[in-house]
Amino acid sequence: MTLRAKPVVRGSGRSGWDSGDRRTFLLNLGFIVAIALSVLLLIGYAAFSYYDNNFGAAATVDGTTITKNQLRSRYAIESFRIDYTERRIRTLRAAGRMSEATAASQVQFLEQRRSSLPAIALERLIDIQLQGKLAADEGVAITEADVDAQLLNEATTDEERRAWVIEITPENNPATGAPGAAEKAAAKAKADKALADLKSGKAWGDIAKTVSTATSAAQDGDLGWLPEKSGLDEPFMKAIFAATENQPTDVIEGDDGTYRIGRVTEIAPKSVDANFQVSVEDANIKIADYREAVRGDVIRTKLGDKIVADLSAPSLQRQVLQIYLAVGTPMPDGVKVRHILFSPKNDPQGAATLDANDPAWAAAETEAKAAYEALKKDPTKFDAMARTLSDEASAKTTGGKQPYYDRTSAIDNAFADAIFTAGLKPGDLIPPFKSSFGWHVAQFMRPYGSGEEAWANTLRQQLVAGADFGQMARDQGEGAEAAKGGDIGWVAPGQLGDLKEAPIFAAKVGEFTDVVAIQGEGVYIWKVVAEEKRDATKEQIAIFKSSGFSNWYSAKKAEAKITRSTSAATATQ
């Protein structure tokens, strides 16, 4: 029996699809799905981009987000303020109330600010966020009336006065390098005489040219148009804005110790721009957004006033001595010396052309040798002798201390030969020698070595071992206080900034701080002499007003957790 395969019977027509149709369908379906996914991705990306561009973080402050929308709004506000200020400058220039040079300088400053506007706007938003929290912590409240007042202030051009000055600056005492009671009395008498001459009918310009020590004396003392808050001496400006036109003020003693007589010849009253808010809206800025910016400005002002008031209240202060070493360009082969110069006829500049046989040279040599013998007996007198005897003009304030010199320094050859003598050790006196400026008595202070911080640590070890702080300050200190044995007076919290105050207030009374190096400034050692609760002095209050808040706020800002987006700047474009 034979077995056969049964033939396959194909039906007529097409039931379903063959493999080719199925492949085509799947390809089409995949293409449709891919398109759909691409569209969804595009929509998602567009949605993400929109969200990030508007609500993404430009920065965060202690976890609170500042959005890119907020940054764009603030950028527009700051840009408007620059434009508005520039228009004011041009208006004042056209009215003759601002010189061409001043106008150009102020416009240039505005352009520099405009070039950094994205960063400025972002920092201002960060400050507003942080200062708002700090203000709440300090109990500082802001009202809508405060905002209204600030808006009015922005729309107001302050009163300005054409001011003139006759200025008498007290001379420095030769021994101390600063004005003393006698010098101040002489300056006051000179100012009183000038005022009496004015009242007797003498011309203002004649007196200004012959008596005034101000740089404006050659222009009859013309200061130009000034607002009351001009940055000039505050007591003087108060007198100017209380003065009657063309009548001299009384003699005014300034906060800087200078005596001044003022005069006003023209007055431009303050004016208010009635269209200010219209100008804001014309710049496509919502008034509500502008008010929020103004609110932040008011918070900054009121918080600053609160901090300055707190700093100015009676506080626990410390009396402090200081040794300060300036930090300059590293000079590995350099040496530091101090010297006393005895020039023939007391004229360093004329010495080079003076005949070598002139008796003045012998007199200078005799003085130098006498000083050298006195210093060999008592080297502690060097500082005082340099300040009182030296013919070097700067010695009155430096005590004869020189910057570091090495063999490449542009100094007198004879001076270089003396200070680079082999074997010199710190404290060694160099016997009198002659240069083209006169006869010198010098003392080798130190080689550069490992730098100022290392040397300061050596000094501190000597202090701990019993060295006299005041004498060391006179011999080593490079600040103005060195002449007073390092005495910088009483230090109140908020006066010097945290970098200095932290070690000063951490040390025990009677002890020294560690060596403190402040980048770009110098190296310090402090000794705390005493501590007591004291009223703030006039000088301390002036410091609080100028830098008290900025020092306080800088420390607070450093403590805050702040992040800035790298893409924040592009959000303003």
pLDDT tens per residue across span 432-453 = 999 999 999 999 999 998 899 9
pLDDT tens per residue across span 523-539 = 999 999 999 999 999 99
Please indicate, yes or no, whether residues 212 and 228 belong to a single structural domain of this protein.
Answer: yes
Please indicate, yes or no, whether residues 244 and 378 belong to a single structural domain of this protein.
Answer: no
Would 313 be classed as within a structural domain? no
Structure confidence at residue 317 as a pLDDT band (50, 70, 90) = very high
Please indicate, yes or no, whether residues 182 and 214 belong to a single structural domain of this protein.
Answer: yes
Please indicate, yes or no, whether residues 164 and 261 belong to a single structural domain of this protein.
Answer: yes
**Region of poorest pLDDT, from 38-47, 186-195, 356-365, 503-512:** 38-47
- Residues recorded for the chain: 573
Containing domain of residue 404, as a range?
A: 335-447
- Does the structure show a pLDDT above 90 at 473? yes
User: 435 forms bridges with which residues in the sheet?
Assistant: 438
Would 206 be classed as within a structural domain? yes
Whether residue 140 contacts residue 350, with contact meaning beta carbons closer than 8 Å, is answered with no
Please indicate, yes or no, whether residues 84 and 140 belong to a single structural domain of this protein.
Answer: yes
**Region of poorest pLDDT, from 36-50, 205-219, 311-325, 438-452:** 36-50
Please indicate, yes or no, whether residues 171 and 28 belong to a single structural domain of this protein.
Answer: no
Please indicate, yes or no, whether residues 242 and 217 belong to a single structural domain of this protein.
Answer: yes
Would 558 be classed as within a structural domain? no
Would 393 be classed as within a structural domain? yes
- Domain count for the chain, please give it: 5
* Domain boundary, last residue among 55, 79, 102: 55
Q: What is the pTM of this model?
A: 0.77
Give dist(CA 118, CA 42) in Å, integer: 29
Would 560 be classed as within a structural domain? no
In the chain, what percentage of residues exceed pLDDT 90? 84
SS3 233: coil
Would 474 be classed as within a structural domain? yes
* Domain boundary, last residue among 535, 552, 567: 535
Would 559 be classed as within a structural domain? no
Structure confidence at residue 173 as a pLDDT band (50, 70, 90) = confident
Structure confidence at residue 3 as a pLDDT band (50, 70, 90) = very low
- Residues 388, 390, 392, 398, CA torsion sign: negative
pLDDT tens per residue across span 478-492 = 999 999 999 999 999
Whether residue 219 contacts residue 242, with contact meaning beta carbons closer than 8 Å, is answered with no
- Residue 516 CB contacts under 8 Å (≥ 6 apart), including other chains: 499, 500, 503, 523, 524, 525, 526
Please indicate, yes or no, whether residues 144 and 282 belong to a single structural domain of this protein.
Answer: yes
Residue 321, H or E segment: strand 315-326
Please indicate, yes or no, whether residues 130 and 204 belong to a single structural domain of this protein.
Answer: no
> What distance separates the 2 farthest-apart alpha carbons in the chain?
158
Would 540 be classed as within a structural domain? no
Please indicate, yes or no, whether residues 170 and 246 belong to a single structural domain of this protein.
Answer: yes
CATH number, domain with residue 504: 3.10.50.40
